[in-house]
Amino acid sequence: MIPIYTLHILNKAPEHPRTAKCRHALRPGDALLLTESAVLALPTPRDHNLAIPVYALAQDATARGVGQCSGGVTLVDYPAMVNLTAQAQNVISW
C-alpha cells in the first residue's frame, strides 16, 4: 500500500471553478479521485501529465457514459475508494 499525502476528491464538472482550484492544489505525493460530474473529464484529464495517480469512480463513469479510461486513469469501485481514503493522510473534497 503506497501512502498518499492528500487525496483530492473532485466531484465538480470540468468547467466548474472549483475544478481549476483543485488541479492547482495537486502536489507530488497526492492522488486525485474523480467522482460524480468530475468523471466527465475522462477519458484523459487535463492534468494527465502530473506525476500523481488519478482515479475515477467506475459507477459514476458508467452512469455518465464515459466508462472507458485512458491516459493513466484507474477506474475504482466503492471498496477501492474507501481503501484510497484509508491510505491518505489528508482528504480534501472539492
Read off the amino acid at residue 66: V
Per-residue model confidence as pLDDT tens for the chain (94 residues): 678 999 999 999 999 999 999 989 999 999 999 999 999 887 555 554 567 899 999 999 999 888 666 667 899 999 999 999 999 999 999 9
Which three three-digit cell numbers place residue 89? Answer: 493522510
How long is the chain?
Answer: 94
Which three three-digit cell numbers place residue 87? Answer: 491510505
- Domain assignments of the chain as residue spans, ordered by start: 4-93
Q: Domain 4-93, what fold?
A: Hypothetical Protein Ychn; Chain: A, (3.40.1260)
Q: What is the pTM of this model?
A: 0.87
